[in-house]
Amino acid sequence: ILKGAEMTTAEIPVNKAQLIKDLKYALYASKVCSYAQGLGIIKSCSDDMNWNVNLSECARLWKGGCIIRAALLQKIQDALARDGKLPNLILDPVIAGELNERTSAWRRVIVTAVAYGISTPAMSGSLNYFDSYRRASLPANMTQAQRDFFGGHTYERTDRDGVFHTAWTDAHKS
């Protein structure tokens, strides 16, 4: 019933060796962002509840587990030990450097997957998280515009103070 992309390598050429290298980089970056999100949730709860959770210790404990155990956890543990007040794992200079080195490969994998109709929800979601975190302002204006259009909820602007409503169509003008 539903048809997806039916691209071929003739239409969108793929260098297999490069794609494999890119996949390794993209998977690594995605995993780092997944850990960053999870640790961010733990940190937020810890701060709210005054639990004083030591995130570096969490990473150390996970290294010995049967489910999460991964070599990446040593780098995470080291990053969190370097700065116990780190607001987010991806802001550690070493981790940030590794992510920055892998960003182009990560994007090439997502672009290729989209072109071929291959769903990559975790990998593309992690890239979206990374992109959202690195920007000073986000495209919330689209969400505000949709809310105003469908429910007259108004919106704010970044270029001037105040709350605004737009008569998007003739139906909104009455």
Q: Select the more confidently predicted residue: 134 or 122.
A: 122
pLDDT at 131: 94
Share of the chain above pLDDT 90, in %: 63
pLDDT in tens, 68-123: 778 899 999 999 999 988 999 999 999 999 999 999 999 999 999 999 999 999 99
Question: Binning pLDDT at 50, 70 and 90, where does residue 135 land?
Answer: confident
pTM over cut 0.75: yes
Question: Binning pLDDT at 50, 70 and 90, where does residue 174 land?
Answer: low
pLDDT at 103: 98
Q: Select the more confidently predicted residue: 127 or 174.
A: 127
pLDDT in tens, 27-50: 999 999 999 999 999 999 999 999
Reference 32, options 128, 130, 135; nearest CA is 130
